[in-house]
Chains A and B, each alone.
Chain A
Amino acid sequence: MNKPDFNPDDAKLRALLRESRVAPQLPPRFQEAVWRRIEHAGAGRSVETFSWLDALVARVLRPRLAFAVAAALVLAGALLGVRDGAQLARQDAQAHYLAAVAPDSLR
Chain B
Amino acid sequence: MRRALFILLGVLAVGAAVFAGSFYLSRQVCVMQRATPADDLDWLRQEFHLNNAEMARIRQLHEGYMPKCAEMCARIAAKKLEVERGLTGATNVSPVAERGLVELAELRARCQGQMLQHFVEVSQAMPPDQGRRYFAEMQRLTLGFHEQIEQSMSDHAGHEHQH
Question: How far apart sit A77 and B145, CA to CA, in the bound complex (Å)?
Answer: 35
Residues of A near B111 (CB, < 8 A) are 103, 105-106
Distance, CA A53 to CA B9, complexed state (A): 11
**Contact between A101 and B115 (Cβ–Cβ < 8 Å)?**
yes
Chain B positions within 8 Å of A106 at CB level: 108, 111-112, 115, 142
Tell me the bound Cα distance from A97 to B88 in angstroms: 35
Which B residues between 1 and 51 are near A, CB-CB below 8 angstroms?
1, 4-5, 7-8, 11, 15, 18-31, 33-37, 40-44, 46-47
A-chain residues with CB within 8 Å of residue B31 when the two chains form the complex: 85, 88-89, 92
Chain B, interface residues (CB within 8 Å), range: 35 or more
Q: How far is the CB of B22 from chain A (nearest CB, A)?
A: 3
Interface status of A33 (Cβ within 8 A of chain B): no
Interface of B, helix, strand, loop or mixed by DSSP: helix
Q: Which of B61-69, B93-101, B151-159 contacts A (4 or more CB under 8 A)?
A: B61-69
Residues on the A chain within 8 Å of B26, using CB: 77-79, 81-82, 85
Residues of A within 8 A of B (CB): 50, 53-54, 56-57, 60-61, 69-70, 73-82, 84-86, 88-90, 92-94, 96-98, 100-103, 105-107
Q: A50-B4, A77-B26, A92-B34 are in contact. List 4 more A-B contacts (CB 8 A).
A: A76-B19, A78-B26, A81-B24, A103-B111
Cross-chain pairs A/B with CB under 8 angstroms, 19 sampled: A50-B1, A73-B19, A74-B18, A78-B26, A81-B24, A85-B26, A85-B29, A88-B27, A88-B30, A88-B31, A89-B33, A93-B34, A94-B43, A98-B141, A101-B69, A101-B118, A102-B141, A106-B115, A107-B142
